Structure 1
Amino acid sequence: MDILDIMRKRHSVRSFRSLEIGSAAADILDGYIDGINKKYGVSLRLVTGEPKAFGGLISKIGTFKNVHSYFVVAAPKDKEFEAGYCGELALLKAAELGINSCWVGMTYSKGFVRAEGADKIFAVIALGYGDNNGIPHNSKPIEKLCSCRGEPQWFMRGMEGAMLAPTAMNRQKFFFRWDGRQVTAQAGAGVGTVLDLGIAVCHFELASGHKVVRA
């Protein structure tokens, strides 16, 4: 399936069926994130069969249901961008396997989710088989999110991918530029915007086939 089709069909889901992620899918995801961790120097981890991180009061506050599996998105403290980029790579791999998901920054039980060593947990990604497939998020107009000389087709495809990227509270605080030589991307002000930029750049690069330089 074309990566843009996966992005178009994937939406945030918080309510899941009681069906667990099977060992075959878990093995694929474990192998995939192991490669990501080695390549980018992050510490993503898949947890399955563990309901406590999203149980009790947290499930009511975050409106979560039946979250028994999740990615822990951890990395050295200076790798927030890479954490977002790599977490989204893992999320899209899960989507390819038919697994629904939701990025979670705050509403999980931190006592049950641990990072290894001195790494920081930047987020958790809830995983499972959704009661539904979610709904598309609203997006800012493309002219608010990019500046492009000549609007080549690959750049517009990349921007479609970036506009489909999940961001905290759907803020979309990122901006892409094409000056005829290279694509740059910059995060706006605010907490978590660098993580969000990593997610958006992941989408842009996968959709366009072109590398992005952080501004």
Structure 2
Amino acid sequence: MAEHTQLIDAINIRTAVRAYDSEPIDDDTARQLEMALQPINLISDLDIQLVRDQPKVFAEANASGHLTNAANYLAIVGPKDDAEARERAGFYAERVVLTATLRGLGTLWVAGSWDRTEAARHCRVAGSQELYLAVVIGHPKDHLAYRAKSYEELCEIQRTHRPTKTFEQFTAPMDDAARAAAPDWFRAGVEAAMKAPSAMNRQPITFSYNSADDTAAAHIDPAAGDEHWALNDLGIAKLHFQVGSGQGQWAWGDGGLFIHK
């Protein structure tokens, strides 16, 4: 894995990890993650925090076997009642997830498999803020064996670890002719977004390309049944698309445009 240090490499190997080793995140790794969080919180107007060694937050999920040895998490904190902030939370917290992936750590976005009240006791949440979601983080089970796998082996695990919607489903607003005419950067962006995590694996985001102004757009599919977490999933999918496309910038919001640069 040492030679694979780009975010697209992380996208190609990231999977949802539910089983962790009991070995704690060491101080040096924690400092590196904190250093990654500082600029992200500055530009995002969020307060994403690394919280270590709090297994009570996941006690029920650990006891049921839904999770194993979950004890550390990223607390994703942002302004109350702010739809754009929820989208930014998905975008920027997934950026941290990909950084953690490149460091050999496992992650899992959680919406229901945690004790939100207990989690809030161990992080900073001001009166004008709320705790949106959490990301479990830690060493994957048998992590030394995991780190010994080749990049190609990890890519194959990612490719087969879950079902996914097709490229055609991800580009449902387009017809076949429009798909065939779309540039390579658009296809690469969509293919990266197809590997993005989403609530209950609903994959509620679709993309379209407009040849008239050479822009892409991201849309929330209301039929996906993801009304509670759709904005967070929109942010995650946009981040994956942006990384996959090579270079460009999104406008926030459902239907926001992507300008490729």
Following TM superposition, by how much is the alpha carbon of 1:167 offset from its aligned partner in structure 2, in angstroms?
0.5
Structural mapping, 1:37-56, within 5 Å:
37-55=41-59
Instruction: State the match for 1:187 in structure 2.
Output: 220
**Could you list the runs of 5+ residues in structure 2 that have no partner in the other structure?**
147-156, 256-261
CA distance in 2, matches of 1:98, 1:63: 22
Matches within 5 A, 1:48-197: 48-55=52-59, 57-61=60-64, 63-77=66-80, 78=82, 79-114=85-120, 115-117=124-126, 118-131=128-141, 136-146=161-171, 147=174, 150-180=181-211, 181=213, 182-189=215-222, 190-197=227-234
| Equivalent pair of 2:7/2:99 in contact (CA under 8 Å) | no
**Contact 2:10–2:99 (8 Å) recurs in 1:** no
* Structure 1 range deviating more: 3-12 or 61-70: 61-70
Alpha-carbon contact 1:159-1:204 (below 8 Å) kept: yes
CA contact 2:76–2:134 (8 Å) conserved in 1:
yes
> Unaligned regions of 5+ residues in structure 1, if any?
none
The corresponding residue for 1:210 is 248
User: What's the counterpart of residue 151 of structure 2?
Assistant: none
1:61 Cα shift?
Answer: 4.4
Q: Which residue of 1 aligns with 2:31?
A: 27
Per-residue deviation, 1:62: 6.5
Shift in Å, 1:3: 2.5
CA drift at 1:111: 2.4
Alignment partner of 1:36 is 2:40:
yes
Give the structure with the larger helix fraction: 2
- Contact 1:61 1:107 (8 Å CA) reproduced: no
Shift of 1:176: 1.1
SS at match of 2:77: strand
Secondary structure, counterpart of 1:211 in structure 2:
strand
Whole-angstrom distance in 2 between the partners of 1:143 and 1:176? 10
In the aligned structure 2, how far is the partner of 1:107 from the partner of 1:24?
Answer: 28
TM-score w.r.t. the length of structure 2 is 0.77
The CA deviation at 1:200 is 0.4
Q: Which structure's CA Rg is the greater one?
A: 2
Q: Deviations over 1:132-177 (max 9, x none)?
A: 6675221111111123562211111111110000001111111111
Indicate conservation of the 8 Å contact 2:125/2:131, yes or no. Answer: no
Does structure 1 retain, via aligned residues, the 8 Å contact 2:78–2:89?
Answer: yes
Q: Tell me by how many angstroms 1:44 deviates.
A: 0.5
The change in CA–CA distance for 1:123 and 1:61 in structure 2 (over 3 A counts) is farther
Runs of 4+ residues deviating >3 angstroms: 132-135
Show CA shifts across 1:20-48 (max 9, x none): 11111111111111111110101100011
Identity of aligned residues (%): 27
SS in structure 1 opposite 2:131?
Answer: strand
